[in-house]
Amino acid sequence: MRYLTIDDIRLAIPTATLIALSSDDPLAQDIDIAVIERAAASTEELIDAHLRGRYVLPLTNVPTVIRDSTVVLVRHQLYSRRPEGADLPKAISDSYQATLKVLADIRDGRLTIGLDSGQAQPEPGVFKVRAAKKSNFGDRP
């Protein structure tokens, strides 16, 4: 897990709930770390997809906004994997939607993650520029 730790997740989700969300055994007494790691890996890929082209990846320093976004998205993914996941609590669903908006704003340059060492990186490839044709306003036939 590059953008968060298990402790970050434990702060966001009570232990009993985390056990229920991560384990498929209803009698489980421990958190299934493998399930959480898979959720974190897929979440980190989603976040990287938003950051790619604007920031150098992998991030050497993880800004708080990225850590917190990762926690929200992992939490949503853990709730979604349960049979009742279709009926997510409103707070989980709302924070998920808000986090996706934050990531889109970072991607589109409306927000910055405040990296100390990096500036926004140009997109790779060729830039094409088009200008409108010059108007001959006043030159009528």
Structural domain boundaries of the chain?
Answer: 6-107
Residue 52 phi/psi, 5-degree rounding, is -60, 135
Mean pLDDT estimate for the chain: 85
| Whole-number pLDDT of residue 31 | 95
Phi-psi category of residue 63: left, alpha or beta, with phi > 0 → left and psi -120 to 50 → alpha: beta
The pLDDT confidence band at residue 58, using thresholds 50, 70 and 90, is confident
The pLDDT confidence band at residue 115, using thresholds 50, 70 and 90, is confident
Q: Which two tokens stand for residue 3?
A: 């953008």
The pLDDT confidence band at residue 118, using thresholds 50, 70 and 90, is very low
Burial class (CB in 10 A: 0-12, 13-18, 19+), 131: exposed
The pLDDT confidence band at residue 87, using thresholds 50, 70 and 90, is confident
